[in-house]
């Protein structure tokens, strides 16, 4: 396993991070399975675990907390807040009122007195940067969080938040967690350069493109079993963008074979090769999945392989732009772009 400094925090983290989104109802993973995955990951050199309050509505945090019992000091523990937690209108977002409550709930579920990294899961357009950063700064000073970061923020919001922190003499975000893979390279044009400019640690989620780069989705195979609970159309090959992804996967698999790598090694090695990326977040549902992903821990792609990837999916290009999660609200809501 390789280790890198998380932004400018001085904290050393593994280049592969264990993501716990599949723990609980989402991935249908039991506590026994989750504990086995966590222990195997830690034994394999992973030292950062990432979860969120909304994963299985708290179920993931509870499983992670039980799994790390007795090994807390070995773990850089990260969680997130801001996504809806139930139907109550104020049980979401990044207001001071909600973040104080949400963090206490997360600490209780995790069974710890602090988290190392607390992340705002999505930018909340209803709340000012000053409000959110002030709350996070106070939580940091109270010792409940060590650092805080953002997740899936558009580049301009990352810049705005850094400005707000300086303007109001508050602590800034020190990390960003964007979606990034061989098939979704759009952030290379904006988010990654901005993160690099501000010295942010970057934890890339979905490096296997939600399973497209796992090796299981190939031409001529029935892909219906891979349908996502969150986005069931993600593997519908009648959609042009999915056909483009399938074609790219076949070409990438050939590059991997020629280099003596698995497709997973190629995909994870690509993400961690970017100078602005600290780590790639893997989200195994089984110990077997974890083992195949840990095999990429020390993968270093040669310049020839990286060049070959660029000819298949050009730098800065998203093959499924409609699946982006950092689209500015004004592009999604007509009311925000019309008088």
- Active site members: 55
Q: Among positive and negative, which fits the CA dihedral 117, 41, 279, 271?
A: negative
The tokens of 50 are what? 């990432």
Rounded Cα distance, 146 and 144, in Å: 7
Distance CA 152, CA 280 (A): 14
Show the 3-state SS of the chain: CCEEECCCCCCEEECEEEECCCEECCCCECHHHHHHHHHHHHHCCCCEEECCCCHHHHHHHHHHHHHCCCCHHHCEEEEEECCCCCCCCCCCCCCHHHHHHHHHHHHHHHCCCCEEEEEECCCCCCCCHHHHHHHHHHHHHCCCEEEEEEECCCHHHHHHHHHHHHHCCCCCCCEEECECECCECHHHHCHHHHHHHCCCEEEEECCCHHHCCCCCCCCCCCCHHHCCCCCHHHHCCCCHHHHHHHHHHHHHHHHHHHHCCCHHHHHHHHHHHCCCCCEEEECCCCHHHHHHHHCCCCCCCCHHHHHHHHHHCCCCCECCHHHCCCCCHHHHCHHHCCC
- Please tell me the distance from the alpha carbon of residue 313 to that of residue 213, in angstroms, as a whole number: 13
Longest dimension (CA), the chain: 58
Task: Note whether 210 and 184 are within 8 A (CB).
Answer: no
């Amino acid at each position: 396993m390789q280790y890198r400094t998380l932004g400018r925090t001085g904290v050393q983290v593994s280049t592969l991070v264990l993501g716990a989104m599949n723990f609980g109802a989402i991935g249908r993973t039991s506590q026994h399975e989750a504990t086995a995955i966590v222990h195997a990951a830690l034994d394999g050199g992973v030292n950062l675990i990432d979860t969120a309050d909304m994963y299985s509505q708290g179920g993931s945090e509870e499983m992670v907390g039980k799994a790390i019992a007795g090994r807390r000091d070995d773990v850089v523990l990260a969680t997130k807040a801001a996504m809806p937690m139930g139907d109550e209108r104020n049980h979401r977002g990044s207001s001071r009122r909600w973040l104080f409550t949400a963090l206490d709930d997360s600490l209780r579920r995790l069974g710890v007195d602090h988290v190392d990294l607390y992340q705002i899961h999505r930018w909340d357009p209803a709340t000012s940067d000053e409000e959110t950063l002030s709350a996070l700064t106070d939580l940091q000073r109270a010792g409940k969080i060590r650092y805080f970061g953002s997740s899936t923020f558009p580049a301009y919001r990352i810049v705005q938040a850094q400005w707000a922190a300086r303007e109001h003499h508050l602590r800034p975000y020190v990390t960003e967690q964007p979606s990034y893979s061989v098939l979704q390279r759009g952030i290379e044009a904006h988010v990654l350069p901005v993160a690099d400019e501000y010295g942010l640690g970057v934890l890339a989620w979905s490096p296997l493109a939600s399973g497209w780069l796992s090796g299981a989705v190939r031409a001529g195979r029935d892909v219906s079993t891979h349908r996502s609970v969150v986005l069931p159309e993600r593997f519908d090959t009648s959609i042009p963008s999915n056909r483009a992804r399938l074609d790219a996967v076949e070409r990438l698999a050939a590059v991997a074979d020629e280099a003596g790598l698995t497709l997973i090694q190629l995909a994870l090695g690509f993400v961690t090769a970017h100078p602005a990326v600290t780590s790639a977040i893997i989200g195994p549902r089984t110990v077997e999945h974890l083992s195949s992903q840990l095999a990429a821990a020390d993968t270093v792609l040669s310049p020839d392989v990286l060049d070959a990837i660029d000819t298949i999916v050009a730098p800065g290009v998203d093959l499924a732009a409609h699946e982006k999660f950092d689209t500015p609200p004004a592009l999604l809501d007509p009311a925000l772009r019309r008088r």
